[in-house]
Amino acid sequence: MKFFRLILLCALVLTTMAFLAPSTAAKRRCGRRLIPYVYSICGGPCENGDIIIEHCFSGTTPTIAEVQKACCPELSEDPTFSS
């Protein structure tokens, strides 16, 4: 009986991993593509990347204004900066 519970537990863990792994890989691919884009706009990393990652998952590229608003709001409020 314990053997079957162990097998069931292993199957459950492996199934869960199979469903979680693609989303993790997708996040890494999105991050690799977006990091240079965000750095080119903000000059540093994005502290609030969730909004930007959603664009990546939907297959769209965020605009400069969206990146500024999410990642570097100090630039979007700066009147001397033009996008």
What gap in Å lies between CA 22 and CA 64, rounded to an integer? 28
User: What does the block give as tokens for 1?
Assistant: 């009986």
Closest CA to 48 of 23, 74, 82, 22: 74
pLDDT in tens, 9-50: 656 666 665 555 546 666 667 778 888 988 999 998 887 777
pLDDT in tens, 40-78: 999 988 877 777 878 877 778 888 998 888 888 887 665
Closest CA to 67 of 32, 48, 31, 27: 48
